[in-house]
């Protein structure tokens, strides 16, 4: 609702930070309870929440270790640091020669490293000089990946299983399995950026689960707190994680008791309340209805689970921004990306009646542009 009491369907959900819905009562209760008890000790001291949280998460995701951070981009930065340290200590890359590979149209944040790996001028223009050792290749292109990985100084390949900011771009079937095979072949760490695509958004715990593959590192964030608090993490096994020794990496707030308690509750909601299945079912319903829209306006519908996008045909009369403004006026909040694409990513808690009403708003809005 807005300040005037008008109701809206939130089809952005904080860029997938609120997979559990707004102010989920279980997460809220955990946040309040922990905030009354202890919020921060700094990592210089032990607390009674961090270890239990790390153990819980490591068991769920099947990795030896979890390194807690705050924002999604911090998780990405941490993963790259871990990969570089591994390159020098394990792979034998000469000092200061490690390279990381990224895909064109990637997006993982706004730090200088993230800007350095971007192909989007709105992200990098005016922010140079950039981080050395970064290389871009086309997304969903195994031949280009193999060519890049043949450089013995390459230590990591960081990729979104589904590109979010690019407009919910899905790779070809088998791409992720191919990534796994190539990274194994050339002894390169695969970093899966699951900050937006993970934690139920696609209908499974992680987007990589659709191909039953296991990256060397996973970065997660956003819905890891259910929208209450900045919480992120890197998951990896000991060979990678223990390359960094005490004092070589840190964060004032990373792993604080409040964040850990919130993240534990947020994960328990995802794991126990049927949200993965609901994401799959509601996503199929949404795409089925979106495909009924006039093709001379909506040229493409794509997605998985409740991670969906539509491509609006660009005309002189209207664009995706104007469609979103009219959606807002009709009671549904969404946002364009790259000018002509609209993402639809509602909370995973959406019910069938709510989806039916929301789809009606989308349909009526799109059809209102038909001449």
Q: Give 133-137 contacts, CB < 8 A, sequence gap 24+.
A: 133/97, 133/98, 133/99, 133/100, 134/99, 134/100, 134/102, 135/99, 135/100, 135/101, 135/102, 136/101, 136/102, 136/103, 136/104, 137/101, 137/102, 137/103, 137/104
Catalytic residue among 85, 105, 222, 369: 222
Burial of 341 (C-beta count, 10 Å sphere; 0-12/13-18/19+): buried
Catalytic residue among 9, 11, 102, 107: 107
Has 107 been annotated as catalytic? yes
Coil/strand/helix, residue 127: coil
Has 222 been annotated as catalytic? yes
Integer Cα distance of 293 and 296 in angstroms: 9
Has 130 been annotated as catalytic? no
Burial of 29 (C-beta count, 10 Å sphere; 0-12/13-18/19+): exposed
Whole-number Cα distances in Å, 64 to 67, 86, 247, 312: 10, 16, 20, 44
Integer Cα distance of 134 and 362 in angstroms: 40
Catalytic residue among 193, 253, 307, 369: 193
Q: List residues with catalytic annotation.
A: 107, 193, 222
């Amino acid at each position: 609702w807005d300040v005037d009491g008008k109701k809206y369907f939130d089809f952005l959900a904080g860029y997938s930070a609120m997979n559990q819905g707004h102010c989920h009562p279980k997460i809220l209760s955990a946040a309040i309870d922990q905030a009354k008890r202890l919020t921060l000790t700094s990592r210089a001291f032990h607390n009674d929440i961090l270890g239990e949280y790390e153990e819980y998460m490591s068991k769920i995701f099947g990795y030896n270790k979890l390194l807690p951070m705050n924002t999604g981009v911090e998780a990405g930065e941490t993963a790259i640091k871990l990969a570089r340290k591994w390159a020098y200590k394990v792979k034998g890359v000469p000092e200061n020669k490690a390279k990381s590979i990224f895909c064109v149209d990637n997006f993982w944040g706004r730090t200088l490293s993230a800007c350095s790996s971007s192909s989007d001028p709105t992200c990098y223009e005016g922010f140079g000089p950039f981080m050395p050792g970064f290389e871009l290749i086309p997304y969903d292109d195994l031949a280009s990946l193999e060519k890049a990985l043949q450089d013995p100084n390459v230590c990591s390949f960081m990729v979104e299983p589904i590109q979010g900011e690019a407009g919910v771009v899905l790779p070809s079937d088998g791409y992720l399995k191919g990534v796994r095979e190539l990274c194994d072949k050339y002894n390169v760490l695969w970093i899966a950026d699951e900050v937006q695509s993970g934690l139920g958004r696609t209908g499974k715990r992680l987007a990589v689960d659709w191909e039953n593959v296991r990256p060397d590192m996973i970065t997660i964030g956003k819905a890891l707190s259910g929208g209450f608090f900045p919480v992120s993490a890197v998951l990896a096994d000991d060979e990678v994680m223990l390359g960094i020794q005490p004092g070589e990496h840190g964060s004032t707030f990373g792993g604080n008791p409040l964040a850990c308690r919130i993240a534990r509750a947020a994960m328990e909601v995802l794991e126990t309340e049927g949200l993965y299945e609901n994401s799959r079912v509601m996503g199929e319903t949404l795409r089925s209805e979106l495909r009924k829209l006039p093709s001379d306006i909506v040229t493409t519908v794509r997605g998985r689970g409740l991670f969906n996008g539509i491509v609006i045909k660009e005309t002189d009369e209207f664009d995706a921004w104007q469609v979103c403004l009219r959606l807002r006026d009709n009671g549904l909040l969404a946002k364009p990306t790259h000018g002509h694409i609209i993402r639809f990513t509602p909370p995973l808690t959406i019910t069938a009646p709510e989806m039916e009403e929301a789809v009606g708003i989308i349909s009526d809005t799109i059809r209102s542009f038909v001449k």
